[in-house]
Structure 1
């Protein structure tokens, strides 16, 4: 199976090449032409452990790697990093189920993919005979940055630069990034919002490709954002894991559909659910949960994407996004029309909006349901879930929980509902504490201790000692300086 660019299907790459490149040369995203070659009988993985399940699914999506090769990469990527070998447990909460994706080394769902991506990237280098150093560029709205730096820390033959919006992440998220060790890691704040940082990274890829700025320098660019298929593919696995957990618990029978509610900003996490569905998993509705930056909700309801709207800083900052990159992959897979996608993306870049054809909107309505929840609604959800079920959830999970209730009310004949929980509540302690009716006092590290005293919920080990770690990264730049910053780092001695 050859991957191809969403904007020009003649630009093809093997799965290893797609992982190594990150973006296609024309700025498009690599994706498969269809799911025909990756479909399989989902019942064959229902009784597997998570490592074996990951091996099976990833070797389907990334066929340059045999199952034996993938088994080693999975073992090396995950062993000893998560709280349990199960990686992503599914727990019953009230009438619903919560898929806990935050049990990894940085307490965020990105760990599932970013524990694997460095292994996939170095294996791809070896498979393709590439000697160049790989310079990873990543924009983060909060969680990807730390998870990417943790994953790539001191990985031979790589450097990583993470850009995040200055003042646009939580104090805990910023501290996680600013204290990251590793001789090959670098993090830099960008004056602007996440969309500015993400657009800046895409422009760097374009400029380097167009003007051959790194030609002959022994360095090539790649990405750890979910625009990289090697980042997206591992996220497909936990949809299967949750389904298998419900079967094994006797809550559903094989063949029953499950509805998944996903808090998402860049559309990667929910797109992984679409991949799972198209590969054969009995997925019902994929429910897109947005915060006040509800551009995706509006799009999935109307077919019109319009980023020309106020940008809100919220208590769920990882979803503070107005340009959802992974949506491009979905639109290509639904239409198969690269010229249409190239035109839509051009309209978005030049005019800030586009509208999809009526037949595509009909397909979107068949697959997705969408809702949104603001800060007050999220805090109310945190308090209610804590009071009713003694379960402590973070602000992003709370958005999804609230939207799940909206979905169930609007669709009384719904299937079993799984809410994806994307981060530990201790990454956003002040908002969580306020949600359960307490007044936050002191800085966020004081508030973490306060939240623990009030709830008794353990603080993840990787967050407990953040305050005492030395700050290693302090750079702050304007968005127009990003290219020069990257070229300077690329030129630094290996």
Structure 2
């Protein structure tokens, strides 16, 4: 019997891994989670010598067991190869008194590459496995990185289209240019006049619109998601936490079985949830540090038990974390309620209707192995500067959030700071943290200046942008998103 996935809002809604990947979001509006977690043999005396591909195959084969080992192995080898600029895929480096897990060596220089390189293979495999002939329409909202990584992964993949919505004034110029220059006949990217939360809410609404779903089916199409709401996006991220631990065992920095901490820059809660899932299958993690920027709704949740989105929304130097509705937290809430789908639905309904909910004291007690804090814009800038001066290591602003929060909390265990993007993705922010403010520089002038100062090699993903053609220029009101989808797909 294969491992099944259940909806957080209706436990009787159970599907196989391939069905969950195809759907993206459960039809009842919930998120799919494993009915039970698989047993995985995490023998680090063996895994310390394993390649990233071998660990990814181990993890995905355990969670997605309705795929054959050969199917997973082929997908992994196809995904984690020449598109990454290092054979290690996700190297771990010592920076001062802690370690940094670099997740930005893929073709879009952000951690989303780690999962979105393999999701297209899993999606097309899932379609074949379930005899689905419909065109799969990847519909997603992005706070900056998911969009480009998803488009790069799905570009010209047969039987698919991908539509990405992003906040027009809520991403870096490099992030925006990466999206607007994306090639592929099946790719459509659209700027909106709202923020990420508004884009994501509209996307969820379209997923849950039964009338639209039937209209899509009548036209031979069906939606799927590239956000970490899709279990096929989330589970591949589990692998790099296990790989990081294995590398620390190999280097002699820890002994097998020793507990460590991870400090994770967190917005939509998918990346840190993947670490929590790694812990649930046996990875020796003591504390997961949830690091937020000025949009610190998660910090308040972990410290008070109240999730309250009724607050100012800030556009910050770490835009991929500019989120007030952390969708993946629903999976953790479901777990904290002892898998009570009705109670989970109640909390999420309260959030939708009143803008907040408060978990019980019993639920809050289960959060003891999470810590949370946040970093202001000034602290982020100082952290970039201090780390460069002291360690000659360049942080992007998201990684700087996790690094600054780690320093503030000072955990006793050895700690890995999760680095989610290359500094070249946010060159003006980084440059102005290292030098005097230079507001008149373009992002591309800032890239050149940052390369000279940092002597950090410029990734091809950025150098290629200098002369890349702008292929997408659509900007709409948030209220027009569904009309844009129907128009692009030529739904009748």
Work out whether the TM-score is over 0.5: yes
**Corresponding residue for residue 489 of structure 2:** 490
State the alpha-carbon separation in 2 of the partners of residues 21 and 277 from structure 1: 26
Q: Cα deviations across residues 72-108 of structure 1 (Å, max 9, x unaligned)? A: 1101112211012211000000000000000000000
Correspondent of 2:406 among 404, 407, 421: 404
Q: Cα deviations across residues 314-363 of structure 1 (Å, max 9, x unaligned)? A: 00000000000000011112321101100001001111100111111010
Q: Cα deviations across residues 37-95 of structure 1 (Å, max 9, x unaligned)? A: 34433435332111011001011111111222210110111221101221100000000
State the alpha-carbon separation in 2 of the partners of residues 209 and 356 from structure 1: 34
Contact 1:290 1:372 in 2 (8 A): yes
Q: Cα deviations across residues 434-487 of structure 1 (Å, max 9, x unaligned)? A: 111243342111111111111211111011131311111111111111111111
How much is the aligned-residue C-alpha RMSD, in angstroms?
Answer: 1.3
Change (3 A) 1:407 1:30: same
**Corresponding residue for residue 130 of structure 1:** 132
User: What's the CA shift for 1:147?
Assistant: 0.4
Change (3 A) 1:387 1:24: same
SS in 2 for 1:491: coil
State the alpha-carbon separation in 2 of the partners of residues 329 and 367 from structure 1: 16
State the alpha-carbon separation in 2 of the partners of residues 459 and 282 from structure 1: 35
Correspondent of 2:215 among 213, 216, 240: 213
**Corresponding residue for residue 427 of structure 1:** 425
SS in 1 for 2:179: helix
Q: Cα deviations across residues 210-256 of structure 1 (Å, max 9, x unaligned)? A: 76221321100000000000000110011011101110010000000
State the alpha-carbon separation in 2 of the partners of residues 463 and 270 from structure 1: 27
**Corresponding residue for residue 358 of structure 2:** 355
SS in 1 for 2:357: strand
**Corresponding residue for residue 445 of structure 1:** 444
Contact 1:208 1:214 in 2 (8 A): no
Contact 1:42 1:280 in 2 (8 A): no
State the alpha-carbon separation in 2 of the partners of residues 426 and 315 from structure 1: 13
**Corresponding residue for residue 145 of structure 2:** 143
User: What's the CA shift for 1:300?
Assistant: 0.6
* Count of residue pairs the alignment pairs up: 487
Change (3 A) 1:18 1:211: closer
Change (3 A) 1:89 1:211: closer
State the alpha-carbon separation in 2 of the partners of residues 303 and 422 from structure 1: 27
Change (3 A) 1:42 1:213: farther
Q: Give unmatched runs, 5+ long, in structure 2.
A: none
SS in 2 for 1:111: helix
State the alpha-carbon separation in 2 of the partners of residues 486 and 12 from structure 1: 28
State the alpha-carbon separation in 1 of the partners of residues 212 and 365 from structure 2: 37
**Corresponding residue for residue 342 of structure 2:** 339
Contact 1:30 1:229 in 2 (8 A): yes
**Corresponding residue for residue 193 of structure 1:** 195
State the alpha-carbon separation in 1 of the partners of residues 66 and 43 from structure 2: 21
**Corresponding residue for residue 272 of structure 2:** 270
Correspondent of 1:61 among 41, 60, 63: 63
State the alpha-carbon separation in 2 of the partners of residues 140 and 209 from structure 1: 25
1:35-184 alignment runs, 5 A limit: 35=37, 37-43=38-44, 44-184=46-186
State the alpha-carbon separation in 1 of the partners of residues 268 and 7 from structure 2: 18
